[in-house]
A and B are shown apart, each in its own frame.
Chain A
Amino acid sequence: MKSPAPAHRRHFIALVAAGLVLAGCKPSDDAGKPGAASTGAIVVGEFASLHGSEAAFGQSSHKGTELAFDVIRSNGGLLGREVRLITEDNQSKAGESATIAKKFVSRDHVVAVLGEVASGRSLEAAPICQAAGIPMISPSSTNPKVTEVGDHVFRVCFTDPFQGKLLADFAWKSLKVRRVAILADTASAYSVGLADFFRQPFVAAGGTVVTEVKYASRDKDFKAQLTAIKAAAPDGLCVPGYYTEVGLIVKQARELGLTVPIFGGDGWEAPQLIEIAGSEALKNTFYSTHFSPAQDNPAVKAFVAAFKSKFNEVPDAMAALGYDSAMALAEAIKKAGSTDPAKVTAALAATDFVGVTGRTKLDAQRNATKPAVIITVENGGFKFLQTVEP
């Protein structure tokens, strides 16, 4: 057994530990000012997965929100007051978002909460915001359950039932798919949900689901599932998953000689998709999403230019939705003429504005009804194909 540490070192460690604990207890200078007060800065809280498994989505969305706040500031703030964005990272971990939401509500006294991409983590923070009566806007959680939490929870993106329906329409009408195979991720609420919302309208239109097989996130080999799919001889394959697995699935499907069109939802949206699958394999693949930087629209062009000059990269759908979530909030605060949470909530419920992801109008269930875009891969890059109006 090692001899105990000398006394002075012992005290040093104890002091450091005590210091860290005290640092956490010391109230910061700017805390304690209620955001609902009529003077001082307007504080908005944003929680995002800046690290961990969904960091690519979280970072994108956060950059969009940051850019929106720059624009709001350069326009002189809101209601003649300064605006301040507090961003907290939940590391893509369960449990963190609830703590962050409590911090926003009871310590930072925010006017509203923005977040997040993953439906699971939005569901964690939503009941806390709902109970506190603080409006929360999710930029891109598409699961229908999120806004069902209560009348203070909103979203600026379309929902999975809408996306599933439009995928079914697209497969039926544009791709002329009649016999479809579905390959969904059992470990993801998003994937299972989207598969259900695709199947119903597709079958209702007269299509047949020839086989439905599953995989789990972080799987690397899909040859078994793909061989089974090939044996069922579909004329289209629906993969409602995230880009990491989708890339591998597309690649392995092509290796097995499965040349039918492959399509999915907004989880495909990431530059990594092309890196993983290679552009050759991605020929004849399609996905639906919220936004394309190639859209011919002055608002989109201005947003893409501003985003490029600030971050030196092309914005994706998550960035555009992060931007629109902040802009929807700014509109609501302006319309309410106050930062009183009840008034802001009422104004948000009546949201109808044109953002970079198109006209965003909230319905009675606080979900956005808005256009989607279909994207395909061509010559090693994403190509905007068409806009689908709701």
Chain B
Amino acid sequence: MRFPKSQLWLALALVVAGVVSAFSGRINDYFLDVALGAGINIVLAVSLNLINGFTGQFSLGHAGFMAVGAYTSALMTTTFASRLLPLVGGQAWILFPCALLAGGLLAAVAGIAVGAPSLRLKGDYLAIVTLGFGEIIKVVLQNIDVVGAARGLYGVPAHANVFWVFGLAAVTVYVVWALVNSTYGRGFLAVADDEIAAEAMGLDTTRYKVTAFVVGSFFAGLAGGLYAHLKGYINPTGFDFNKSIEIVVIVILGGMGRHVGVVAAAILLSVVMEPLRRFGDYRMILYALLLIVLMLTRPQGLFVWRSGRGTA
């Protein structure tokens, strides 16, 4: 039986992540934290790219979906762990992926709840609705005492390792890549290119938009779960408007609707802040300068040598 090439790549990535994970004890904790942070940003950026890049919608609420996933999964491995652990035979390593999945699914449900009524809006209007959603999630979390309210949720076990983070990053890249390169997925690009023309061709554009939104928010929820189990502490303010903007910046810098560029930008922007630490107060200025220079020299995105979406 002959596998398509892309599935081989996915399998290879999963194996590499598993092997590296087995040796991750030898990697310096700090480097590991930065690397895993970059991996989580890949999941976030690639999933947002499906909405903002390939489908041409403008969502500013990605951190909100991330928060849903983060809180759901963190609650399952902390507050409700004593009740849930017996269901999986007391094995924490089984509970963790279940918690991640639950976080992703709940984020996807939130994606439907937000997407279905609001995706008939276009451009700026949609941006404002998603922005509002992100803020609502934050404020709701700040007022629920079970999740720690403004105090935050702490004591989340550190289950996120190289295998889970980079394995899921590979899965995200694969799913988004396969989706937009499928016959069905061409519809996303059509919606982005010209919604009226797409509608005239008989495409259900709202359904395409909701699909992109739900898949995107599912992976954002997974990323949130990974984040919670990496940092060990989550706080509603960590999922505010600025976090959403951070992800949008990665997507724009990498190139809207590009695969390699967005992954590269996710890695670059997560890692670059660390060597800049030695510049102290100038760090933020250098970071902003880097963004400006990159935007001026590569407005089409990193690693884009040819024109045309869905190629590089």
Chain A positions near chain B (C-beta within 8 angstroms): 1-2, 4-5, 9-10, 13, 17, 20-21, 23-24, 28, 50-51, 87-89, 91, 93-95, 98-99, 102-103, 105-107, 119-120, 123-124, 127-128, 143, 145, 149, 186-189, 191-193, 216
Q: Cβ of B294: which chain A residues have Cβ within 8 Å of it? A: 13
Asked if A127 and B154 sit within 8 Å, CB to CB, the answer is yes
- Answer whether A51 and B150 are a contact pair too, CB < 8 Å, given A5-B298, A98-B233: no
5 tightest A-B contacts by CB? A94-B238, A24-B275, A189-B151, A106-B29, A1-B307
Q: Which residues of B contact A28 (CB under 8 A)?
A: 278
Residues of chain B from 275 to 312 with CB closer than 8 A to chain A in the complex? 275, 277-278, 280-281, 283-284, 290, 294, 297-300, 302, 304-308
Query: Across the interface, which residues of A come within 8 angstroms of B142, CB to CB?
Result: 186-187, 216
Interface string of B146-160 (1 = CB under 8 A from A): 000111101100000
Asked if residues B28 and A24 are in contact (CB atoms below 8 Å), the reply is: no
**Inter-chain pairs besides A95-B37, A98-B231, 13 sampled, C-beta below 8 Å:** A4-B304, A17-B268, A20-B290, A51-B284, A93-B238, A98-B233, A99-B33, A102-B33, A107-B28, A119-B151, A127-B233, A189-B150, A189-B151
The listed residue (A51, A87, A88, A145) touching B154 by CB distance below 8 A is: A145
Residue of B nearest to A22 (CB): B275
Contacts of B178 in A (CB 8 A): none
| CB proximity of A345 to chain B, nearest CB, Å | 20
User: For the complex, what is the distance from the CA of A87 to the CA of B279, rounded to whole Å?
Assistant: 11
- Taking a contact as CB atoms under 8 Å apart, the answer to whether B150 and A4 are in contact is no
A193's closest neighbor in chain B, by CB?
Answer: B151
Which residue in chain A gives the minimum CB-CB distance to B265?
A17
Q: Given the complex of chains A and B, what is the CA–CA distance between A89 and B304 in angstroms?
A: 34
Known: A1-B307, A4-B305, A189-B150. A123 touches B233 (CB 8 A): yes
Q: Which residues of A contact B271 (CB under 8 A)?
A: 20-21, 24
CA distance A87 to B283 in the complex (A): 13
Measured CB to CB, the closest approach of chain B to A331, in angstroms, equals: 28
Are A94 and B29 neighbours in the complex by a CB distance under 8 Å? no
Cβ contacts B66-85/A at 8 Å (1 or 0 each): 00000000000000000000
How many angstroms between the C-alpha atoms of A329 and B100 in the bound complex?
Answer: 41
Residues of B within 8 A of A103 (CB): 30
Partner of B151, one of A4, A23, A50, A120: A120
Given A50-B281, A99-B33, A106-B29, also A23-B150 (CB < 8 A): no
Given contacts A4-B307, A20-B272, contact A98 B284 (CB under 8 A): no
Residues of chain B having any CB pair with chain A under 8 Å: 28-30, 32-34, 37, 139, 142-143, 149-152, 154-155, 227, 230-238, 242, 268, 271-272, 274-275, 277-278, 280-281, 283-284, 290, 294, 297-300, 302, 304-308
Residues of B within 8 A of A149 (CB): 154
Closest to B286 in A: A20
Residues of B within 8 A of A95 (CB): 37, 227, 231, 238
Residues of B close to A143: CB separation below 8 A? 151
Asked whether, in the complex, the Cβ of A189 is within 8 Å of the Cβ of B238, the reply is no
| Chain A residues closer than 8 Å to B143, beta-carbon distance | 186
B139 contacts A13, C-beta separation under 8 Å: no
Would B297 and A13 count as touching, CB distance under 8 A?
Answer: yes
Q: How far is the CB of A54 from chain B (nearest CB, A)?
A: 11
CA gap between A216 and B143 in the complex, in Å = 10
Contact A120 B149 (CB under 8 A): no
A106, B233: Cβ atoms closer than 8 Å: no
Closest partner residue, chain A, to B151 (CB atom):
A189
Contact of A91 among B28, B235, B284 (CB under 8 A): B284
Complex-state Cα separation, A93 to B240, whole angstroms: 10
A-B contacts, 29 listed (Cβ < 8 Å): A2-B299, A13-B294, A13-B298, A20-B271, A24-B272, A50-B281, A87-B280, A89-B280, A89-B283, A91-B284, A93-B238, A98-B232, A99-B37, A102-B30, A102-B33, A103-B30, A120-B150, A120-B152, A120-B235, A123-B154, A124-B232, A127-B232, A127-B233, A189-B150, A189-B151, A189-B152, A192-B149, A216-B139, A216-B142
User: A105 with B300: in contact, given A124-B233, A192-B150 (CB under 8 Å)?
Assistant: no
B299 neighbours in A (Cβ, 8 Å): 2
Chain A residues with Cβ below 8 Å from B28 are: 106-107
Which residues of B are found within 8 Å of A187, using beta-carbon distances?
Answer: 139, 142, 150, 236-237
Shortest Cβ distance from residue B229 to the other chain A in the assembled complex, whole angstroms = 12
Which residues from chain A contact B305 at a C-beta distance below 8 Å? Answer: 4, 10
* A20-B272, A24-B274, A95-B227 known; A5-B297 Cβ under 8 A: yes
CA distance A42 to B22 in the complex (A): 34
Instruction: Provide the residues of chain A in CB contact with B274, threshold 8 Å.
Output: 24, 99
**Contact across chains for B233 and A107 when beta carbons are under 8 A apart:** no
Q: B272 — which chain A residues lie within 8 A by C-beta? A: 20-21, 24
Contact in complex: A99, B30 (CB < 8 Å): yes
Residues of A within 8 A of B238 (CB): 93-95
Q: What is the CB-to-nearest-CB distance from A35 to chain B, in angstroms, rounded to a whole number? A: 15
Q: Once the chains are docked, how many angstroms separate the CA of A23 from the CA of B238? A: 28
In the complex, are the beta carbons of A186 and B231 less than 8 A apart?
no
Cβ of B206 to closest chain A Cβ, rounded Å: 28
Q: How far is the CA of A2 from the CA of B295 in the complex (A)?
A: 13
Whether the pair B151, A107 counts as a contact (CB closer than 8 A) is no
Bound-state Cα–Cα, A207 to B148, Å: 29
* Most chain A CB neighbours (cut-off 10 Å) among B152, B237, B238: B237
A94 to B308, CA, bound (A): 38
Docked Cα-Cα span, A99 to B271, in Å, equals 12
Contact residues in B for A20 (Cβ distance below 8 Å): 268, 271-272, 275, 290
Nearest residue (CB) in A for B234 is A94
Which residues of chain A have C-beta atoms less than 8 A from B284's C-beta? 51, 91
Please determine whether A106 and B235 come into contact, CB atoms closer than 8 angstroms.
no
A341–B281 Cα distance when bound, in Å, is 30
Nearest CB on B from A211, distance (A): 18
Q: Which residues of A have CB within 8 Å of B151?
A: 119-120, 123, 143, 145, 189, 192-193
Chain A residues with Cβ under 8 A from B283's Cβ?
A: 89
Please measure, in the bound complex, the distance between the C-alpha atom of A89 and the C-alpha atom of B33, giving whole angstroms.
17
A50 CB contacts on chain B under 8 angstroms: 281
Contact B231 A102 (CB under 8 A): no
Chain B contacts for A94, CB-based, 8 A: 231, 234-235, 237-238
Nearest B residue (CB) for A10: B305
